[in-house]
């Protein structure tokens, strides 16, 4: 049982961005993926979720599976139903579609979960309160006119309600103040500890990781994973930056 990625090569418009990424996330594990801008972190997030812009460059020895089930051929919605969630870095706005509508449809698309609209409404309101999201935003078109921080919190709200097996947090910390960071970390910790959700935290700052402590830390540069270790990797980066990070593997 794991979220397994092996030999992932990805091209965008002919240019190689990911060069043979391999990593594994166990249920309940928190894995941090760090790297400078341009290292390919967001490309990885998008590729795992199946964004059409990212083309898998080679299928040789490629493994992409959730708890043993391959998702290589699956569309984004099929991957979501297989238990994957991506909290996006730049959530797009969808005018006229409220978060409730989107979640109701998302929940109904999975056969296991049958929830009444009223129950969902209550659940959303409860989560919004815990995440300190203004209830007004729940009625508006998704992400329409939301600040960066509000958008990120809305991603976390959806994640908590959909309760995925594995979740990718793509630079969720950028644009959040300390209070919001703590709330997001609390939410993620809860999922990891209580629901055994495997979490891949993508970030290039260390801030979030003080509240959401990773079990393992990976460092990515130029589309390749150059370093793997424990929390000491974070401290090392804090001291010397990314330039020296690739030196010890």
Partner 1 sequence: MVIKQRVKVSRFAKIVRLDEDAVKSLSESYQLGHHDDITYAYRSERGLTGKMVADLSTRKGEPIWMRDLRLSAFGLYQAMPMPGWVPDLSGINWNEIYYYLAPTKKESKTWEEVPDAIKKTFDKIGIPEAERGMLSGVKAQYDSTVIYGSLRKSLSKKGVVFLGMDEGLRQYPELVREYFSKTVPLGDNKLAALNSAMWSGGSFVYVPKNVEVGLPLQAYFRINAENAGQFERTLIIADEGSKVHYVEGCSAPAYSSGSLHAAVVEIIVKKGAKVQYTTVQNWYKNVYNLVTKRAWVEEEGEMRWIDGNLGSRLTVKYPACILAGRKARGETLSIAMAGAGQHQDAGAKMIHLAPETTSQIISKSISKNGGRASYRGLVKINKGAKGAKSKVVCDALILDSESRSDTYPTNIILENEVSLEHEATVSKVGEDQLFYLMSRGLPEHEAEAMIVNGFLEPIMKQIPLEYAVEMNRLVELEMEGSVG
Distance CA 113, CA 124 (A): 15
Q: 166 pairs with which residues across the strands?
A: 84, 198
**Minimal distance in Å, beta carbon 109 to partner 1?**
4
Residue 185, CA distances (Å) to 87, 172, 212, 213 in order? 13, 10, 5, 9
**Minimal distance in Å, beta carbon 165 to partner 1?**
13
**Minimal distance in Å, beta carbon 151 to partner 1?**
11
Based on CB atoms, which residue is closest to partner 1, 39 or 158? Answer: 158
Instruction: State CA 249 to chain mean position distance.
Output: 25
Based on CB atoms, which residue is closest to partner 1, 82 or 201? Answer: 82
What letter does residue 242 receive in the DSSP assignment? T
**Minimal distance in Å, beta carbon 187 to partner 1?**
17
Query: Looking up tokens 């994640």, which residue turns up?
Result: 159
Based on CB atoms, which residue is closest to partner 1, 79 or 216? Answer: 79
Based on CB atoms, which residue is closest to partner 1, 75 or 240? Answer: 75
Residues making contact with partner 1 (CB under 8 A) = 49-53, 75-77, 79-81, 85-86, 88, 91-92, 94-97, 101-103, 105-107, 109-110, 141, 158, 162
**Phi, psi angles (nearest 5°) of residue 209:** -70, -15
Rg (CA), the chain: 18
């Amino acid at each position: 049982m794991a979220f397994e990625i092996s030999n992932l090569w990805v091209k965008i418009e002919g240019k190689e961005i990911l060069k043979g990424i391999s990593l594994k996330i166990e249920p309940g594990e928190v894995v941090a993926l760090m790297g400078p801008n341009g290292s390919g972190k967001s490309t990885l997030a998008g590729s795992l979720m199946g964004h059409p812009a990212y083309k898998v460059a080679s299928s040789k020895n490629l493994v992409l599976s959730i708890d043993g089930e391959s998702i290589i051929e699956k569309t984004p919605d099929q991957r979501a139903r297989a238990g994957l969630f991506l909290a996006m870095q730049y959530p797009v706005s969808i005018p006229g579609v409220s978060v409730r509508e989107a979640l109701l449809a998302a929940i109904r698309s999975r056969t296991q979960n049958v929830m009444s609209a009223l129950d969902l409404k209550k659940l959303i309101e409860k989560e919004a309160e815990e995440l300190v999201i203004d209830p007004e935003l729940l009625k508006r078109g998704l992400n329409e006119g939301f600040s960066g921080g509000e958008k990120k919190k809305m991603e976390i709200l959806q994640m908590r309600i959909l309760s995925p097996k594995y979740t990718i947090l793509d630079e969720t910390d950028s644009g959040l103040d300390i209070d919001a960071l703590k709330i997001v970390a609390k939410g993620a910790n809860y999922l990891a500890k209580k629901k055994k959700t495997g979490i891949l935290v993508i970030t290039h700052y260390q801030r979030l990781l003080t509240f959401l402590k990773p079990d393992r830390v990976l460092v990515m540069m130029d589309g390749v994973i150059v370093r793997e270790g424990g929390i000491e990797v974070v401290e090392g980066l804090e001291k010397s930056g990314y330039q020296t990070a690739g030196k010890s593997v």
